[in-house]
Structure 1
Amino acid sequence: MSTLVCPGDRIGSADVYRAGSGTYERHGGIFAACCGQAQDATSSSGERLLQVTAPQDIKSAIPKPGAVVTVKVTRVQQTSASCKVLVVGSTAVSKEFSGIIRLQDVRSTEIDKVVLHHCFRPGDIVRAEVLSLGDARSYYLTTAKNELGVVYAKSSAGVPMVAVGWEAMQCPMTRVLEPRKVAATQPEGNPSASPAP
């Protein structure tokens, strides 16, 4: 198999494959995390993998203010969450860009009640918007819109979680709820229709 895919495209089942480079697992499926060619591969232990490789002639996207980006959270502190930018719009980045979600940029209301560890955890995949080029060559990002926030997270048991509202995700194995700033997603795992805080 060698198919051109875009970020968010479902390319296989987690029952058959494991997520390789350029992909992620969600709701029992394997999805593309970047634009490129989806390909079968075999790991050193003999497992079947799906991976997405960006063609060399695809220009790397550069984050600009107002652009929607997909990022991976690498570190969460009291006042900010550090991220690695994976995708700008629907285009994968080939350079490494860093982003920061500051406490005041997590949501638009009740900012004084935001606790970052209740919004993001390291390893979470987050949809965010670029505010500006911040300090130390990191972009300032925001999740202060309903459609922005965590789109993929694993529970403490290592299982991909399902959104059960605007502020929580649930482990389907243990049924334990974990707090997150959840993005409004479609069509799978829709949070309730009530406005996000």
Structure 2
Amino acid sequence: MGEDSEWVTPGEVLGKASKFKAGRGAYVSPDNLTVYASLTGLRRILSPRPDSPDQRPTVEVTGHKAHGAIPEPGSIVIARVTKVMARMASADIMCLGTKSVREKFTGIIRLQDVRATEIDKVDMHMSFHPGDIVRAVLSLGDARAYYLSTAKNELGVISAQSAAGATMVPISWTEMQCPLTGQIEHRKVAKVGG
């Protein structure tokens, strides 16, 4: 499939856009119509399919040692809450979309990113507990962590354990219930389906 594979880093020239299409891990600069690498990895040239109207080969960069997925802004992630503080919760990112991540990425859900409305009334301890599994969208972070947002109906806690050790059932957007004890706990619950 890929004939030549050479090591490249972000910003490195992969070829001219007149000769190559930009594939994964590559982009075309509109200024000089040159294809550049957008990540570190192996440069590969993929031949076009015989029935393709565009007969330019595709140049792509694949992450080194099957690097697993890398979080990017706008990605939907699944994360496990590790710590809840007054103004934020930290979480370990476990999956990007449907792909599991091989490295440890840390995310932070800030108070203002928990929900879209009534932000001043958000209580972190009533939104998340350590161990909760949340679905969130990634926004830009700093060097230490990615910022995660649950400020959409379909984002928030998707799985939580009750004190009795059972998987809780969502009963509203703000509450989950233990099927064993009937105990209700507050959460920022992700709306399922519809």
Normalised by the size of structure 2, how large is the TM-score? 0.65
Distance 1:58 1:89 in 2: 17
Distance 1:76 1:150 in 2: 13
Q: Aligned pair 1:169/2:157, yes or no?
A: no
- Of 165, 171, 180, 1:158 maps to 165
Number of aligned residue pairs: give it. Answer: 130
- Of 135, 140, 145, 1:138 maps to 145
Distance 2:97 2:180 in 1: 32
- Of 108, 115, 118, 2:123 maps to 115
Q: Aligned pair 1:89/2:89, yes or no?
A: no
Secondary structure, in 3 states, of the residue corresponding to 1:112? helix
Amino acid at match of 1:151: I
Secondary structure, in 3 states, of the residue corresponding to 1:133? coil
Distance 1:62 1:181 in 2: 26
State the 1:58 CA deviation: 5.0
Distance 1:85 1:139 in 2: 9
Correspondence list, 1:52-91, <5 A: 59-91=67-99
2:24 alignment counterpart: none
Distance 1:133 1:101 in 2: 11
1:101 alignment counterpart: 109
Q: Any stretches of 5+ residues in structure 1 without a counterpart?
A: 1-56, 187-192
Secondary structure, in 3 states, of the residue corresponding to 1:144? coil
Correspondence list, 1:17-56, <5 A: none
Distance 1:123 1:104 in 2: 21
Amino acid at match of 1:110: E
2:135 alignment counterpart: 127
State the 1:154 CA deviation: 0.5
1:4 alignment counterpart: none
State the 1:133 CA deviation: 2.0
1:7 alignment counterpart: none
- Of 174, 179, 188, 1:181 maps to 188
State the identity as a percent. Answer: 52
Which 4+ residue blocks in structure 1 deviate beyond 4 angstroms? Answer: none
Normalised by the size of structure 1, how large is the TM-score? 0.64
The structure number with the bigger radius of gyration is 2
Q: Please, what is the CA RMSD of the aligned residues?
A: 1.3
State the 1:89 CA deviation: 1.0
